[in-house]
Structure 1
Amino acid sequence: MQVLKTLLFISALLAANPALAQLKGFETGPVFKDFGPTAAVETSAPLAKHVQYKIAFDVAKKADPAKLNRTIESAARFINMHVKAGIPAENIRIAIVVHGGASGDLVKQEIYGARNDGANNGSAAAIAVLQKHGVSFHLCGQSAAAYSISKDDLLPGVLMSLSAMTAHALLQQDGYTLNPF
């Protein structure tokens, strides 16, 4: 019984402080200091420094209330790990296409809180920081309609697309590849 209590205590402690839950050897930075941890890896072949990365991330799963959306953090991880590996930040362009339940992660705090028992939007601060680094956010208009989200409800800078399918099609025509994670 004592072992179970100890495990529950540790689990609660890790849930309350995500920094403690970070895996050994993973660090944030060099671009995003508060999120997007990565590990240094000795690769079999060096990455070419001149390559232009244009990556679209697809986000459908909603974050737990007050938590950073995992796929949005993955986009930050992509940037952090490649800059850490020597790729110039200006060679990395990221677009995040959001649909389904994750649509609610792109709304202003007053809307988010009203829909999540007063919880803070745990993705809002990261979205603002990512946008300052050129990351674009595209909300599926069909999902927005399904979840009663208007353009006025969106966090600053979030773009409303006709649909996620349309956003992905246009991004692919602009040279973006879809990240499968």
Structure 2
Amino acid sequence: PYFNLDKNKKYKVVFDIASSPKDSSKLNPLLNAVARLYNMHVDAGIKQKNIEVALVLHGSATKNVLKNKQYQERYGTDNPNLKILEELDKAGVHVYVCGQSASYHKIAKKNMSKSVKMALSALTVLIDYQTNGFQLIRF
């Protein structure tokens, strides 16, 4: 590549994910973009300890955090996002859902994937991470 990454530099990014496909049987491609960014940097030689990634889901993406049973009850299909949320969490990505959006969409914490943490708000997460040097990627 023409743009070389500094393999010793710390990369810090927070993703603002506020949309999801209208077709509830489809994976949210923005979650895939988060995984792709993480994986391509690791594949390019960036040590896992040197890449910190967080994301916050809100708006229509809030539904992505539902456990399968509740997702099936609401949308009549399995939640296609659960596996990638679990994989992101296992890789060390900090995954949050906006508490305000969860409340609006009537999603209780007990009905959320264990890979997702409830935040006060998406705004709070975005402010906190940016204050701590994370670069914002908004879709």
TM, length-normalised to structure 1: 0.72
Deviations 1:77-101 (CA, angstroms, capped at 9, x unpaired): 1012112222112211111110001
Identity fraction in percent: 38
Report how far residue 180 of structure 1 moved.
3.4
Q: Which residue of structure 2 aligns with residue 110 of structure 1? A: 69
- Picking from 20, 24, 49, the partner of 2:7 is 49
Q: Distance in 1 between matches of 2:38 and 2:75?
A: 30
Task: Please say if 1:158 is aligned against 2:116.
Answer: yes
Q: Which residue of structure 2 aligns with residue 125 of structure 1? A: 83
Q: Which residue of structure 2 aligns with residue 174 of structure 1? A: 132
Deviations 1:101-132 (CA, angstroms, capped at 9, x unpaired): 11000010011111112x11101011101100
**Runs of 5+ unmatched residues, structure 1:** 1-42
Q: Which residue of structure 1 aligns with residue 32 of structure 2? A: 73
Q: Which residue of structure 1 aligns with residue 49 of structure 2? A: 90
**Runs of 5+ unmatched residues, structure 2:** none
Task: Please say if 1:144 is aligned against 2:129.
Answer: no
Deviations 1:153-176 (CA, angstroms, capped at 9, x unpaired): 110031111111011111112221
Q: Distance in 1 between matches of 2:26 and 2:68?
A: 13
TM, length-normalised to structure 2: 0.93
Structure 1 counterpart of 2:30, one-letter code: T
Structure 2 counterpart of 1:132, one-letter code: K
Q: Distance in 2 between matches of 1:89 and 1:66?
A: 31
Q: Is the 8 A contact 2:56 2:96 kept in 1?
A: yes
Q: Is the 8 A contact 1:57 1:71 kept in 2?
A: no
Q: How many residue pairs were aligned? A: 138
Q: Distance in 2 between matches of 1:50 and 1:144?
A: 38
Structure 2 counterpart of 1:94, one-letter code: V
Structure 2 counterpart of 1:51, one-letter code: K
Q: Which residue of structure 1 aligns with residue 17 of structure 2? A: 59
Structure with greater Cα Rg:
1
Structure 1 counterpart of 2:68, one-letter code: Q
